[in-house]
Amino acid sequence: MSSSPADASRAARSRTAFSRTDTSESDVPPPDVPSPDTPAAGTAASRPPAGRPPGPSAANRGRGRLVLLIGGLVAVIVLGSAVHLTQGTSNLDALDVVRLLFGGGTDHTAAVVFESRLPRLLAAAVVGVALGVAGAVLQSVARNIMASPDTLAVNAGAHLAIVAVSAFGITVPMLGAAGIAFAGGLTAAALVLTLSGTGGTGIVRLVLAGTAAALAMAAVTRVLLLLFAQETRGLFSWGAGSLGQNGLDGVQTLGPVVGGTLLLLLAMSRRLDLVHLGEDHARSLGVDVGRIRFVAITLAVLLSASAVTLTGPIGFIGLAAPALVRLMVNVVPGLHRHAALIPVSAAMGVALLLGADVLLRALIGSQTALEVPTGVVTTVLGGIFLVVLARNVRVTGKATEPPAAGARGGVSRARFRLTLGALAVVGVGVVTGSVLLGDTLLLLGDVVNWLTGQAGPIVTNVMENRAPRVVAAFLAGASLALAGAVIQAVARNPLAEPGIIGVAGGAGLGAVTVITLVPAVGFWAQAGAAGVGAALATAVVFLMAAKGGFASERLVLIGFGVQAVAQALITLLIVLTDPWNETKALTWLAGSTYGRSFEHLVPMVLAVLLVVPLLIRARGELDLLSLDDETPRVLGVPVSRSRLLLMVCSVLLTGAAVAGVGVIAFVGLVAPHATRAIVGRRHARALPVAALLGGILVCAADTIGRTVIAPGQLPAGLMTAIIGAPYFIWLLYRSRVRSE
């Protein structure tokens, strides 16, 4: 069947090498499509001239290079395995291991090798294969280089499912841990792919959708870890990905599952090649695209769930391994075909994971490495790889999303004033309720007596603890909402939020460093460390994204990488500290107003007083920057400088909020978008409304968190994530519908 001109045009546009990444087209090079400079096979141009003997074919050269690549990876794996077997806490050297392999050695040597070291090595091999292949398949099906078990929230969904079952003591008939993880991972992947779309809809959209979905699931997971600390003991460290094994039971159970799934995907390789060409082209060749895509995603999630069950969620192997392989497509012809891509990605995954584990134990020693998850190392290395990859993103300067609801037209002045007044009334009501509610209920008369200095000791004690918390929650919410409005305008993406550019991660890393390493210091040292961390993370993001004038796509991707590295280092600090400091750090990371006094509000007050006048003055520039790069340039606005200054304002607000109350998610995402839906996209109106909405949201979340399980408390940050998740799902659905 011949293809139409439109099909040919789509196939031609799909031809791209991974040496440069383009967010405006499909991000994975399609198989079996010759390059524009290579004549098609069978044409006159491809045949050698008459009378001249044919030289070595390109296919033979490609096969030779492919064999060389596979041989090199196998050699690396063998060498790494040999080193890996010699690492451990027992006093065994390489000669002891060699003697055992040749039939010698003592019973002690055999017990150490076969019960500890060999299971860890085989677990690394099984998980490396599973994640490498899962990432390769997900990237092909989504036609997006950023697709992986991490960015599709598969790992987060599987982790949440296992933690939930452990917390509530649930027994699922006929489903072991692998089945539970599979169900959670498949649900998460289906959610992200359904809401973000497939078919090369853009790197940034997939990253933002998956990251925000993973953030919501991680928030619920942290709630369960805090509320059910005894039932979920050990799952925090496991949640970062640990290769430690007790015997071969896990490998023997899940190894055949991974192997069988790998064989099924290899059998589907030709169909995956056709699907990857594009839906129209594949359908013209008689391929049931929907069924192949569903089966491929299901098998990829099964691989990811098996990996999570065996070792916990290990980050970025599923992203980096296939991406590194695809970067070699120009050097190794034929590597884009799934018959070669899948096994090479599997080998690359094993090499990366094995190398990370060897590196971890070589740097910090085998004894300390028992407490440090290998996933920390893979996430740090993967985040760095993502930053390097993002620096080569080819940007278009166009908005990455359609206008948000309410963006095309504003509301009348009378309606805006009515809306602002109504929100102010609601804000007063929420603040009042927040003051009255909690583990001790108060009356308005009690508050009046406290304000006039006539309250009794009980009311005085309650108000002295509660009033600063209420003000802190409202200020933090307003600050994060303003920061989110600025970032969404500058990045031209309603799915962006302060955490995505690494500010929250940097601030969290700074504060947790002080909490775990210098626990005796007070709030001001923690706040200062959080501010320094936020500034350093932002500086790294800005310096890395400076190429090409702070393009929004590049800024978001680099911020995502920096955020991932910061989270990995936070995990490292927490697992190495004592249980008391671990609880303090987890509570702070969850966003808590507990123990705040009025002096703790100084950073947020100063940030608001400094930044708000600047934002009011720059409201017109925000309107222009939210459109494109050309319009503000034509009107004389210095795009790069304005973007940089506005991002600095956002960083100040976010850093102050995080320093004051910890990490609070979703406010910077939800409040600005809801604002545009209510009053439109003009920032002269959007900024005050967003500030009110953000303050109301965090204040209400804090009140609910310290009331529903009183005298126990849930941190405000976790409550905002739980409250904001349903709205976010609706937002993604609406955004996808508009983009179609």
**Domains along the sequence of the chain with CATH:** 62-389 (1.10.3470.10), 413-739 (1.10.3470.10)
Stretch 562-569: mean pLDDT: 89
> What does the pLDDT read at residue 404?
45
What average pLDDT does the segment 553-570 reach? 84
Q: Measured over all CA atoms, what is the biggest interatomic distance in the chain, rounded to whole angstroms?
A: 109
Task: Give the pLDDT band of residue 691 (cuts 50, 70, 90).
Answer: very high
Q: Give pLDDT, residue 735.
A: 63
Give the residue with greater pLDDT, 489 vs 215.
489
Average pLDDT, the chain: 80
Q: Residue 301: is its pLDDT beyond 60?
A: yes
Which of 183-197, 561-575, 582-596 has the highest mean predicted lDDT (pLDDT)?
Answer: 561-575
pLDDT digits (tens, 9 = 90+) for 641-660: 888 888 889 888 988 898 88
Phi and psi torsions of 160, nearest 5°: -60, -45
Query: Taking a C-beta distance cutoff of 8 angstroms, is the pair 326, 28 a contact?
Result: yes
Q: 139 or 394: which carries more pLDDT confidence?
A: 139
CB distance 728 to 675 below 8 Å: no
**Residue 438 in 3-state DSSP?**
coil
Least confident of 187-191, 444-448, 698-702: 187-191
Q: Which DSSP helix (H) or strand (E) runs through 186? A: helix 177-196
- Looking at per-residue pLDDT, the higher value among 653 and 17 belongs to 653
Residue 466 has pLDDT above 70, yes or no: yes
If one compares 171 and 273, the residue with the highest pLDDT of the two is 273
Written in H, E and C, the secondary structure of 511-567 is HHHHHHHCCCCCHHHHHHHHHHHHHHHHHHHHHHHCCCCCCHHHHHHHHHHHHHHHH
Q: What's residue 5's pLDDT?
A: 41
Percentage of the residues of the chain whose pLDDT score is greater than 90: 23
Stretch 478-506: mean pLDDT, rounded? 83
Mean pLDDT of all residues in 82-104: 78
From residue 452, alpha-carbon distances to 311, 428, 455, 466, 702 in Å are 59, 20, 8, 17, 26
Instruction: Over range 191-197, report the average pLDDT.
Output: 74
The predicted pLDDT at position 52 comes to: 45
Q: What is the predicted pLDDT for the residue at 738?
A: 57
Lowest mean pLDDT among 88-92, 439-443, 630-634: 88-92
pLDDT, residue 62, reads: 66
